[in-house]
Amino acid sequence: MGNFSDRLLSYSDALAAVSFVSVSGLGIAAADPETRCSLVLAAVPIAVSNLIFSITATAIMLKLRRWENELRSESELSERALEIARYLHLARLVIVWVSALLSTFLLYAITRDQSC
């Protein structure tokens, strides 16, 4: 079962990575003067979709964590290993929500741009 629980961790890692890449792409688009004004026109739908994605990703990651815990309960892991796994799970959730907050603040900042 270890292989399957490792796969569940990979799915959670991928969700956190998508969140980070999304805000990175948004930042690159906001830095380009040619695309910044287009983002201003779509700021609200982008912010709402980022929020929906973050909620969905969090729900999926929590479910994956529950399944991982069920699978790992059959194996003998040290208390330290379980503690590290909890911290890594929390770190993934922090990445998702920091990315969501950064994208929201970024969208808010570009809507204040007087040149658009």
Indicate the domain borders of the chain.
2-111
pLDDT for 31 equals: 87
Encode pLDDT of 2-61 as tens digits: 576 677 778 888 888 899 899 898 889 888 888 888 888 888 899 999 999 999 999 999
Tell me the C-alpha distance between 26 and 102, whole Å: 10
pLDDT for 4 equals: 66
- In this predicted structure, the answer to whether residue 96 has a pLDDT above a threshold of 80 is yes
Residue 67 to residues 9, 12, 53, 101: CA-CA distances in angstroms? 10, 12, 21, 28
DSSP letter, residue 32: S
pTM, 2 dp: 0.79
Token pair recorded at residue 78: 């040290």
pLDDT for 2 equals: 54
pLDDT for 97 equals: 94
